[in-house]
Amino acid sequence: MSNSIDQIYDEIILDHCKNPRNNRKIHKPNIICKAVNSFCGDEVNIEIKLSSKKIITLTGSKSLGCAINQASSSMLSEVLYGKSIEEVFNLYNIFNCMMKENTVPKKASEQLGYLKNLKIIKKNPIRIKCCLLPWTALINEIEKI
């Protein structure tokens, strides 16, 4: 692999790919998010349990495909815990902006926490869709709530 490709697969991304967090099915989830990238075959399945106040109390994430898709799904599953639906939309807008635009205001960027590590994917633009697949699946489902 070339040095630029090696940089994409940094330590955090590889860790989440090799040791995915919340790699489980949720019993009676309130939200089930599924998506497939028809271009490369990546798949993602995210399940979410909500409290009566619409706060995320449990997440499950199963992804197949490239390391970037798997890592993004794993990282997303960790970040969702304890968030309201409104907070998820806000986080998505910041993350999507980070992945597609050149700049994100510093205060907004701070809300991403370690998700900022995925910004390195922008060096290989064709892989941005792999990174956004879990987010797209999630947003498509929670928009229906």
Side chain identity at residue 125, one-letter code = P
Q: DSSP labels for 100-136?
A: HSS---HHHHHTTGGGGGGGGGGGSGGGHHHHHHHHH
Side chain identity at residue 99, one-letter code = M
> How buried is residue 43: exposed, middle or buried, by Cβ count under 10 Å (0-12/13-18/19+)?
middle
Domains of the chain in sequence order: 3-142 (3.90.1010.10)
Coil, strand, or helix at residue 22?
A: coil
**Digits of tens for pLDDT over the chain (145 positions)?**
445 555 556 788 889 989 999 999 999 999 999 999 998 899 999 999 999 999 999 999 999 999 999 999 999 999 999 999 999 999 999 999 999 987 888 898 899 998 998 998 998 899 999 999 999 999 999 999 8
Range list of H helices, the chain: 3-8, 11-18, 67-80, 85-100, 106-110, 128-142
* pLDDT reported for residue 109: 87
Closest CA to 119 of 103, 134, 107, 135: 103
* pLDDT reported for residue 4: 53
